[in-house]
Amino acid sequence: MQRIAQLAINEEGFVFDPVQGESFTVNQTGLLIIKALKEGKSQEEIIRELVNRFEVDEDKARIDLVDFIEKLRSLNLL
Amino acid sequence: MELFIGVSGINAFDNPGPGVGVAKSLKEDKELKAKIVGLAYDAMEPGAYMDWVVDKAFILPYPSSGYEAFINRLYYVKETFGLDFVFPNLDAELPLLIKYQEELGRAGIKTFLPTAEQFKLRGKDRLEEVAAKIGFDSPRSLVITSYDELYKAVEKLGLPLMVKGVFYKAYKANTLPEAVSHYNKIVAEWGYPVILQQVVYGDEMNVVGAGDGEGNSLGVVGIKKLWITELGKIWTGVTVKNEKMLQGAEKFISELGWKGPFELECIVDTKENKVYLIEINPRFPAWSYFSTGVGVNIAANIVRKAFGMPIREFKDYEAGKLYVRFTDDLITDMERFQKLLVRGES
């Protein structure tokens, strides 16, 4: 199972990793992405959600998503 | 039926013993009807004054003063107050109590301890063997007894490395002269052999648990230390669920048939999915009440097993529960100190 599926998250953006005991805070954008990844949504679906929810165009959303995913990879959460 | 349970290690100051946490755990299991007998080595041990946890305290002679004085004192406690079970929480008590557990049992004082053979496995020179048995990794280490071996070991393991006594003390050496200096310090204080160990990197995580001696678990909880004191004692921690670490702890119980409480100190490298076994403590850690606080009362289960009461099955605990240790103060009469000092009991 991917580690991201095990993350405990709350609505304020507090994220706890039960495997490593680390905690993180994320903003509302990060929270949306983590939740969507936990639900197994595709990158295209997540980009659409970002565009709908925040004032951002598709290109900017894609760049931010890729950037955030890389960050999660560097933390071994993906 | 009330159970009179002796608990040692009730020192609760800068280097806290496990006793107060164990006593609190026992008190929380109301079915045990535990009367806690505090077993102290000094009239200043705070637990002896915490009358909401410790019902009566006795001063014991140090185990190093010999078998007779120590055991006779326990018999005295049994005769004058009551003592159905002894929970030793300090390393120095274990060899003596392990050796004489049958004799104590015949006198009506039960214990729940590892065998002498299991106790030997806690030695730092046996870590690799235990780690291999339970699916953990262990830092490469070499046991040395001379300067010649020291130089060769440093060459083999590389720097930095840890210089350790077999049972106590560990120093990090960044250079060869540092390694030599630490080696000398350990030899002067603790004697031979000395262990040189590769430094491993990761998160410091620990497991507290207990086995029933027949391969079954009496409870296992994993934590990560978030903040530690200068003495390396945990003051803030969080429960974690690292499957590899918890499975290793279960194997420690089933493969080794471990009897009694234990703590496994680990370094967990999540990236490489490696769990390094750093130390085995054949007793409860000072933070053992953490497990009780998240619903896994290991101390109570040990007593339940010892007295043939039904074991509480703990299938799960929640990850992300926080542990915070704090200091407190208590004001009482000088008479209580005088009584402990002069009469040896509260």
ipTM of the prediction greater than 0.90, yes or no: no
Q: Which residue in chain B has the smallest CA separation from A75?
A: B271
Residue A1 has pLDDT above 60, yes or no: no
pLDDT confidence of A36, banded at 50, 70, 90?
Answer: very high
Q: Say whether both B145 and B73 belong to one domain.
A: no
> Bridge partners of B221?
B208
- Mention every residue, 6+ apart, whose C-beta is less than 8 A from residue B39: B6, B7, B8, B10, B19, B57, B58, B60, B77, B86
Whether residue B86 is found in the same domain as residue B167: no
A8 contacts B223? CB cut-off 8 A: no
B171 lies in some domain = yes
Do B82 and B44 fall into the same domain?
yes
Same domain, residue pair B287 and B226 = yes
Contacting B residues, span 186-215, partner chain A, CB-CB under 8 Å: 203, 205
Write out the DSSP string of B120-176: HTTSGGGHHHHHHHTT-B---EEEE-SHHHHHHHHHHH-SSEEEEESSS-EEEESSH
Are residues B266 and B213 part of one domain? yes
Question: How far does B228 lie from chain A, in Å, by closest CA?
Answer: 15
Based on the fold, state whether residues B19 and B96 are members of the same structural domain: yes
The count of domains in chain B is 3
CB-based contact, A21 to chain B, within 8 Å: yes
Residues B206 and B102 in one domain: no
Q: Classify residue B130: in a domain, yes or no.
A: no
Taking only the tens place, the pLDDT of each residue in B54-89 is 999 999 999 988 899 999 999 999 999 999 999 999
Residues of A in contact with B242 (CB under 8 A): 19-20
Q: Are A2 and A19 in contact (CB under 8 A)?
A: no
Distance between CA atoms of residues B49 and B135, nearest Å: 44
What one-letter code names the amino acid at B54?
V
Q: Do B270 and A19 touch (CB under 8 A)?
A: yes
pLDDT tens sequence for chain B (346 residues): 799 999 999 998 778 999 999 999 999 999 999 999 999 999 999 999 999 999 999 999 999 888 999 999 999 999 999 999 999 999 889 999 999 999 999 999 999 999 999 999 888 778 889 999 999 998 888 999 999 999 999 999 999 999 988 777 889 999 999 999 999 999 998 888 999 999 999 999 999 999 999 999 999 999 999 998 887 788 999 999 999 999 999 999 999 999 999 999 999 998 888 999 999 999 999 999 999 999 999 999 999 999 999 998 877 899 999 999 998 999 999 999 999 999 999 9
Candidates B240, B274, B316: best to mutate against A (most CBs of A within 10 A) is B240
Is the minimum CB–CB distance between B221 and chain A shorter than 8 Å?
Answer: no
Residue B133 in any domain: the answer is: no
C-beta separation of B154 from B174 below 8 A: no
Residues B149 and B245 both lie in one domain = no
Question: Which residues lie closer than 8 Å to B150 by C-beta, 6 or more apart?
Answer: B144, B179, B180, B183, B194, B196
A8–B319: do the CB atoms touch at under 8 Å? yes
Choice between A17 and B229, residue whose per-residue pLDDT is larger: A17
**Could you tell me if B269 and B311 lie in one domain?**
yes
B65 and B99 in a common domain:
yes
Percent of residues in chain B assigned helix, strand, coil, to nearest 5: 35, 25, 35
User: Among B198, B222, B240, where does a domain finish?
Assistant: B198
Q: Establish if B318 belongs to a structural domain.
A: yes
Residue A2 near chain B (CB below 8 Å):
no
Q: List the CATH number of the domain containing B304.
A: 3.30.470.20
Structural domain including B237 reads 119-123+201-324
Same structural domain, B107 and B85: yes
